[in-house]
Amino acid sequence: MLLLNVIYQTKQGQRETFLSAIEALGIPEASRAEKGCLAYDYYYPVQGENTIFLNEIWENADCQAAHTRAAHFAKLQELKKEYVESVTLMKYNAERL
């Protein structure tokens, strides 16, 4: 399995607007429907009023790579240009227990 933790630091005061735009475009649902997607969930961290945390779990790296070629992924990249200051990505390989 491939786990991704994505931390978005949004522009000041844009966190809710960014997440609303993501949801309005159906990006979470489209991502969850992709082959090999085991989890795709956004969260608000307790700290950081301009921070959004995304947890993704994929069956394997090939499934996650296919995700990056999807049309809804391209839409997310456009939204990030408008609302996000920085992105931190952490990737982990894991085994099911």
* Domain locations in the chain as residue ranges: 2-93
Which phi and psi angles does 57 have, rounded to 5°? -130, 125
Q: Tokens 């931390």 appear where?
A: 7
Provide the pLDDT for residue 64. Answer: 97
Say which DSSP state 49 is in. Answer: T
d(CA 57, CA 77): 19
Provide the pLDDT for residue 50. Answer: 97
Q: Which CATH architecture has domain 2-93?
A: 2-Layer Sandwich (3.30)
CA angle 14, 18, 22 (to 5 degrees): 175
Mark the ranges of the chain whose per-residue pLDDT is less than 70. none
Provide the pLDDT for residue 93. Answer: 95
Global confidence as pTM: 0.92
